[in-house]
Amino acid sequence: MADSLHLELVDFTHMVHTGIYSEETGQPQPLRFTVRVKLKVERHYDPDTPLDASKNYMDLKFACSEALGDRHYKLIEAVADHVCETLFLQDQRVEEVSVKIEKLALSEGDELIGITLVRERK
């Protein structure tokens, strides 16, 4: 069995243009992202291992923020899809991406409303 490395971004909030209901459209709304990326690894990590032997954690944050741009996404599933594809394009070592998105503006209490998309490299 080959080793793998999981990088995570947990509870990152970013304003995104998304939604289909009138109260959601026209302005960005806060989405909370949790992203998990499975990387293929080929060697051990010693104290002097350079960054290019892994993946920069900031790439996960970028995929959930600047990479989304100002485009309007009707469904948060489309937002998750874009995050997955961005991460696959950034690094050939990415084997799997899991993107959990919670729509914070729709919560009326303490409930969490959202989706999780898990995609393997094809």
CA-closest candidate to residue 67, choices 55, 80, 48, 83:
83
Q: Can you tell me which residue has the tokens 């209490």?
A: 109
CATH number of 4-120: 3.30.1130.10
The tens digit of pLDDT for each residue in 62-121 reads: 999 999 999 999 999 999 999 999 999 999 999 999 999 999 987 788 899 999 999 999
Q: pTM score > 0.85 for this model? A: yes
C-alpha torsion sign, points 12, 18, 21, 23 = positive
Residues 6+ apart with CB under 8 A from 29: 15, 16, 17, 18, 19, 103, 104, 105
The tens digit of pLDDT for each residue in 63-73 reads: 999 999 999 99
